């Protein structure tokens, strides 16, 4: 994981947009995760968690953003594109990003339980794929992590049990 000093100014701007989308997910009662896919300095796809709204276990912010990017680019392959996501992606989302042939993934908060870019595992390190993907984590991690912690804290009682 790189320090925030290693990130470009554009990276911060795109992650801020992903954080806006995460707040929109939270307002809709979803886990606050947002994702933006960028190509050549322009947004080609955006998404926020929509699992509950769509009754779809695959409607993670990353998948929603990749689907929109594919429609925008008129191709499921997205070479040269970068995805910015507020939470370290799970194995499903990293797998989809590899299949889409993204150039890079930049994430905010680490996810030690289900993250697949160094958290629970590092899917790209398996080298069993037809595409190598670069990744960086920790960009605006405090803000992204704080959003998630506040969301889950508001949904648990004093004993830590879910109340919703």
Q: Confidence band (pLDDT; 50, 70, 90) for 159?
A: low
pLDDT attached to residue 19: 99
The pLDDT of residue 101 is above 90:
yes
pLDDT attached to residue 2: 45
**pLDDT digit string, tens, across residues 72-98:** 999 999 999 999 999 999 999 999 999
Task: Give the bridge partners for 104, in sequence order.
Answer: 82, 134
Token pair for residue 142? Answer: 């405090």
User: Domain ranges in the chain?
Assistant: 16-110+123-151
Cα–Cα distance list, 2 to 24, 90, 105 (Å): 28, 19, 13
Residues in the chain: 164
* CATH number of the domain located at residue range(s) 16-110+123-151 in this protein: 3.40.140.10
> Is 30 an annotated catalytic residue?
no
pLDDT attached to residue 156: 79
Q: Confidence band (pLDDT; 50, 70, 90) for 129?
A: confident
pTM higher than 0.85? yes
Q: What is the DSSP letter of 162?
A: B
Q: Among the options 30, 46, 62, 88, which is catalytic?
A: 62
């Amino acid at each position: 994981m790189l320090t925030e000093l290693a990130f470009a100014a554009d990276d911060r701007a795109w992650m801020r947009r992903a954080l806006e989308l995460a707040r929109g997910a939270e307002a809709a009662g979803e886990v606050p995760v947002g994702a933006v896919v960028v190509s050549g300095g322009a947004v080609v796809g955006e998404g926020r968690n929509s699992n509950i709204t769509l009754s779809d276990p695959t409607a993670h912010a990353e998948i929603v953003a990749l689907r929109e990017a594919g429609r925008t680019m008129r191709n499921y392959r997205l070479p040269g594109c970068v995805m910015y996501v507020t939470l370290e992606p799970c194995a499903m989302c990293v797998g989809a990003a590899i299949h889409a042939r993204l150039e890079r993934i930049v994430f905010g908060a680490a996810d030690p339980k289900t993250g697949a870019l160094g958290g629970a595992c590092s899917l790209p390190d398996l080298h069993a794929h037809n595409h190598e993907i670069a990744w960086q984590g920790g960009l605006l991690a405090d803000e992204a992590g704080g959003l998630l912690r506040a969301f889950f804290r508001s949904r648990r009682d004093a004993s830590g049990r879910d109340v919703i």
